[in-house]
Structures are given as C-alpha cells and as structure tokens.
Structure 1
C-alpha cells in the first residue's frame, strides 16, 4: 500500500486515508517525507522564505480549503498517474 505523508494538524485527512488502507506517516520535519509516495500539507508555511527544496520525489498536495474527502480523491488521482 502506498505511503502517504500528512502534516500533523490534518487529523481528519489522516483518519480518512487510514480508513482507505493507506500507510500514514506524520510529517514533523523534512526527513519524515522521504520514502513517501505522496505528501499532504496545510499550505500555511509553504515556501515562506522563497526557498524551494524538494524533500520528496512524490507528489505534494496542498490541502488548503479542501475537505478530507477532496484530499483523498487528489491522493488517489496522483497515485494513479504515477503508476
């Protein structure tokens, strides 16, 4: 099953993805995202200083303004495109 990194504050998204059987990793720092097929972020601290360092090779989903169901759909779409 794909490994999904989710920021700590997105508990509803974590629960929704776990219910669908995904392996969830809480993102506390950049190292946590390594090995993840996809990462879900809040978007609140996205590129604050104008520096963009890719910490993961997987897709990044900005969950800002989205419901947990919307995020799950985005994750499934991204994972299907990668395969």
Structure 2
C-alpha cells in the first residue's frame, strides 16, 4: 500500500487514510517527506516542511477547507495517475 505523509495537525485525515489501509508518516521535518508517495498539508503555512528546496516524488494535497473524506478521494485520485 502507498505511503502517505500527513501534517501532524491533521489527525482526522491520518485516521481516515489509515482506515483505508494507507501507511501514514507524520510530517514533522523535511526528511519525513522524502520517501512518501503523496503529502497532505494544511496549506496554512506555505513552508510547512521548513525548507524551500524540499522535493518529493509524489503529489502535495492542500487539505485546507476539505473534509477527511474529500482528502482521501484526492489522495486516491493522485495515486491512480
């Protein structure tokens, strides 16, 4: 199953993704995002990982204004592409 990085404050999203069988990595520092297929962030802090040069191989989903179910749907869409 895919590994999803989720910002620490998004516990409801972490729980929802875990319930769907995803492996969740809490994003606490830049290095946490290195080996994930997709990242979910709040969007409240444009530099949530603390560094401008952070790059991941997967997509970044901004969860601001979305329900946990909507975030799950976006994750599933991004992983299908």
**What is the alpha-carbon distance in structure 1 between the residues aligned to residue 74 and residue 46 of structure 2?**
18
**What is the alpha-carbon distance in structure 1 between the residues aligned to residue 54 and residue 78 of structure 2?**
17
Moved over 3 A (4+): none
Flag the structure with larger Rg: 1
Query: Normalized against structure 2, the TM-score is what?
Result: 0.91
Q: Write the mapping of 1:5-44 to structure 2, written as runs, cut at 5 A.
A: 5-44=5-44
Q: Write the mapping of 1:2-81 to structure 2, written as runs, cut at 5 A.
A: 2-47=2-47, 52-81=52-81
1:42-77 C-alpha deviation (Å, 9 max, x unpaired): 0111148xx842331110000000000000000000
Q: How many residues align?
A: 79
Task: State whether residues 30 and 55 of structure 1, in contact with CA within 8 Å, keep that contact through their aligned partners in structure 2.
Answer: no
Question: What residue ranges of structure 2 are gaps of 5+ in the alignment?
Answer: none
Query: Normalized against structure 1, the TM-score is what?
Result: 0.89
Residue 14 (structure 1) shift? 0.2
Q: Match of 1:61, SS?
A: strand
Question: What residue ranges of structure 1 are gaps of 5+ in the alignment?
Answer: none
